[in-house]
Each structure stands twice: as C-alpha cells, then as structure tokens.
Amino acid sequence: MTIDDHTIVTLTYEVRDGDESGPLMEKMDRDHPFVFMFGVGKMLPAWERRLFGLKPGTGFAFKLAPEDAYGVASKQHILTMPIHHFQNDKGENNPDLLVAGHFITLTGSDGKPVHAKILKWDDESVTLDANHALAGKTLFFSGAVLSVREATVDELVQKTVLTASH
C-alpha cells in the first residue's frame, strides 16, 4: 500500500535546521515513530506532497523553504502590549512570566490560542514575537516509511489515528 489520503502512516524522521548537516531539531525513531493520518489537513501541505505515493521501506530526504514550511517571519507579528496585562492584582510583575525567550499563550481576536515569545519589556509595555517558532527557517527532513495501512471507519470519522498499532 502506498501513502494516499486517509491512510495511516508510520515513519521515522529527523528535521534539521537548514540542511542535512544543520542542528537537529526533532527526531522520531523506530522506538518512537511518528504515526498520523495522511491528507486531512493537519500536516504541512508541502511536506505531505513529498511523501505522497511512498511505500513502506522507502526513505526520503528533502528541504522545505520557509514559504513551504512555517512562513517568513513578519514584523506584523511583533506585538507590543501594555505591561498591566502581565501584572498581578497589586500591579507587580510576575517574575516567572516575564522571562526573555519564554513562550506564553495569548488568545487571538478569533478566540484561538496564539503562542508568542517574550522579547523584552519595560515599565510601560511588553514586546512579543507571535511568529511561529520555525518561521523563516529552511527545514531539512530525512527518514523512512515504516508502514502504511487503511484507516478504520472510526479513524476516518474522527480524522485521526485512534490506535498505535502498525
């Protein structure tokens, strides 16, 4: 069976920053493989296009430019918020919350969560970067397809993997 829409795929992979010799960012191996339903809009479209049609036992290696991955970092996603949103009832800064480089979750105007990195703050405001953490990065993926199976009826209805069986 080959990878196609609504199949359950089990694979190993590494993702590196830039190219095959770049810093390792994430790894899924045979002991802890990545199992997902293909073609239901949960993965990067360009990533899925590179895997479509592969069979078990097939290796892969490819780069995704920022435009095909998590986008190019945008100045529009650098936010400045009043400091009072980060203070307690007494107007005190929370030292555990205001740490440069830490990520916090905000609620967007659409009600969805927005993850943002704290860049800096002063007595008036906090500056945050709400770009995706991987925005602007070229990603290099390599790995192998371990198995491909048909989804169960329940998996098709829920559009997700319900068992870890391979």
* CATH 2.40.10.330 is held by the domain 75-129: yes
Q: Are strands 125-129 and 78-82 parallel, antiparallel or unpaired?
A: antiparallel
- The full DSSP string for 39-106 is TSSSS-HHHHHHHTT--TT-EEEEEE-GGGTT----GGGEEEEEGGGGB-TTS-B-TTT--TT-EEEE
Q: Indicate the domain borders of the chain.
A: 7-70+135-158, 75-129
Over residues 146-166, the pLDDT tens digits come to 999 999 999 999 988 986 544
pTM for this predicted structure: 0.80
Over residues 6-52, the pLDDT tens digits come to 999 999 999 999 999 999 999 999 999 999 999 999 999 999 999 99
CATH of domain 7-70+135-158: 3.10.50.40
Decide: 162 and 70 in contact? Cβ < 8 Å.
no
Over residues 89-116, the pLDDT tens digits come to 787 877 778 889 999 998 888 998 989 9
